[in-house]
Chain A
Amino acid sequence: MYNFNYHRPTSIDEAVKQYDEAEDGQYLAGGHTLIPTMKQRLSAPTDLIDLSGIKAMQGITRSDDGAEKMLQIGALARHEEVASSPIVKSMVPVLSALAGGIGDAQVRNRGTLGGSVANCDPAADYPAAVLGLNAQLVTNRRSLDAEQFFMGMFETALDEGELLTSVHFPRPEAAAYVKFPNPASRYALVGLLVAKTNDGVRVAVTGAAPAVFRAAAMEAALTDDFSVSALDSILLPAGDMNSDMHASAEYRAHLCTVMAQRAVAAIVAQDQARARQVTSEVTSESTS
């Protein structure tokens, strides 16, 4: 790792100013992609701007965004914080489960939501949640829809020096995330997030292609009939998918259907459990 000038700003404005003044600056969040990349000398910034002292980018809160309650997560929230947060568990439980499955325990204790989303690794888990749940991405300059944000492999709509400060998730009616983890890294070979939202059924796919995307064919089939068998005959085109030593494009396309079906099965099971709970509450009320 080449040396660099280290900065630790305490405000978003100060961080952006330091970035702008640097010859080749780089923001540091959890550092679990950046530091290994710098060690390999694939990245050699002149200045590292450590965001950990910025309070405004921390914390997990429930906010009222008009009529809708939103889950607001600071970009610096660590995976473990999201996985164990009671607010996340009650509002968007799928996000807590997803965060608890990223990497390993030590990685989850350091890695951050904002770092993962801004890095836009094709196999990262969080982008599936951001796109699948239709989250809003808030930067120091504007608010972006998930649809506008993810552009390609390691490529987002963030401009030079623009800083992702928080991510706002609307509460889905029901959602599940299922991935086929790479057995060594636990990155998603393919990861599918299926959600029933106010805007209808959404299906987001990570790991399969250069960047996270929505599977329109699956969304249409599940809108007609929200069942596992509705996806039986749907195979996403392998032509757009990644092929590497871990899996061929064809295998990834196959996994997309299998993972989507498992996610749908999990949602159907959640719905049934909820229905049983309601029935038993009604029954116990009528007998008490």
Chain B
Amino acid sequence: MSAKSMSTESMSAKGSSSVTVNLKVNNKAVTETCAANTTLDELLREQLGLSGTHIGCDTSQCGSCTVHFDGRAVKACTLLVAQCEGAEITTIEGLGTADNLHPMQAAFRECHGLQCGFCTPGMIMAAVDLVHQEETLDEQKIRKGLEGNICRCTGYHNIVRAVATAAKKMRN
């Protein structure tokens, strides 16, 4: 993540109101130029067409826009593209495919961990990071781990079940 890899334009003494950033999105190298005030969720959805990352509140509270930044869950609405130079971003599209679901996606389907589905991509990305971080998970840890994600339909019960189910499969 050296500053030298930023575009020459953005490194002038006066800074720049547009930035060219090199990053990896779902394992694919991407070089994009955008206005300095572009957030990561906007880049993903509007420039890269990855609309699986949802924008819910746009105020860093609901977690619908959760993606992985170098493997850790972050809210893409609260991250400037400029801050992503050299980063590896994973979105819900990079997790599994329709034919080959990630265990977390499969568990959400199996446990009926969604109703309208709007919060689901963010829930799944947050939950995958949680399983990677915690050696053991119980209901309390899952609920605490998902504090940054809001669901207005399910009442969370089936989401917690889905995460517990997926955690077992992911560890096998």
Which A residues lie at the B interface, using CB under 8 A?
A: 1-10, 18, 21-22, 28, 31-32, 35-36, 38-39, 47-48, 50, 52-53, 80, 103-107, 109-110, 184-186
Are A4 and B130 CB-contacts (below 8 A) given A9-B3, A47-B15, A50-B83?
A: no
* Most B-side CB within 10 Å, residue of A2, A80, A105: A105
B147 CB-CB contact with A under 8 Å: yes
Kindly identify which residue among A9, A21, A110, A185 contacts B74, using a CB–CB cutoff of 8 Å: A110
A-B contacts counted at CB < 8 A amount to: 106
Q: Can you identify 28 A-B contacts, CB atoms within 8 angstroms? A: A2-B37, A3-B36, A3-B37, A4-B15, A4-B36, A5-B36, A6-B10, A6-B19, A6-B80, A18-B15, A21-B13, A31-B80, A31-B83, A36-B60, A48-B15, A52-B1, A52-B83, A53-B3, A80-B72, A104-B63, A105-B146, A105-B147, A106-B60, A106-B126, A109-B69, A184-B61, A185-B61, A186-B147
Contact A105 B73 (CB under 8 A): yes
Other 19 A-B pairs with CB < 8 A, given A35-B60, A107-B148: A1-B37, A3-B35, A5-B17, A5-B36, A6-B80, A10-B3, A32-B78, A36-B59, A38-B37, A47-B15, A50-B80, A50-B82, A103-B148, A105-B130, A106-B126, A107-B60, A107-B75, A109-B72, A110-B75
Contact B75 A106 (CB under 8 A): yes
**Which residues of chain A come closer than 8 Å to B147, judged between CB atoms?**
104-105, 186
Taking the closest CB of chain B, its distance from the CB of A17, in whole angstroms, is: 9
**Which residues of chain B come closer than 8 Å to A80, judged between CB atoms?**
72
B137 CB-CB contact with A under 8 Å: no
B154 CB-CB contact with A under 8 Å: no
| Binary contact readout B8-19 vs A (1 if CB under 8 angstroms, 0 otherwise) | 001101111101
Interface residues of B in 77-93 (CB under 8 A from A): 78-80, 82-83, 85
Which B residues lie at the A interface, using CB under 8 A?
A: 1-3, 6, 10-11, 13-17, 19, 35-37, 39, 58-61, 63, 66, 69, 72-75, 78-80, 82-83, 85, 126, 129-130, 145-149
Taking the closest CB of chain A, its distance from the CB of B158, in whole angstroms, is: 20
Give the docked Cα–Cα distance between A21 and B15 (Å). Answer: 11
Give the docked Cα–Cα distance between A33 and B85 (Å). Answer: 21
Taking the closest CB of chain A, its distance from the CB of B103, in whole angstroms, is: 20
Contact B36 A48 (CB under 8 A): yes
Taking the closest CB of chain A, its distance from the CB of B39, in whole angstroms, is: 8
**Which residues of chain A come closer than 8 Å to B80, judged between CB atoms?**
6, 28, 31, 35, 48, 50
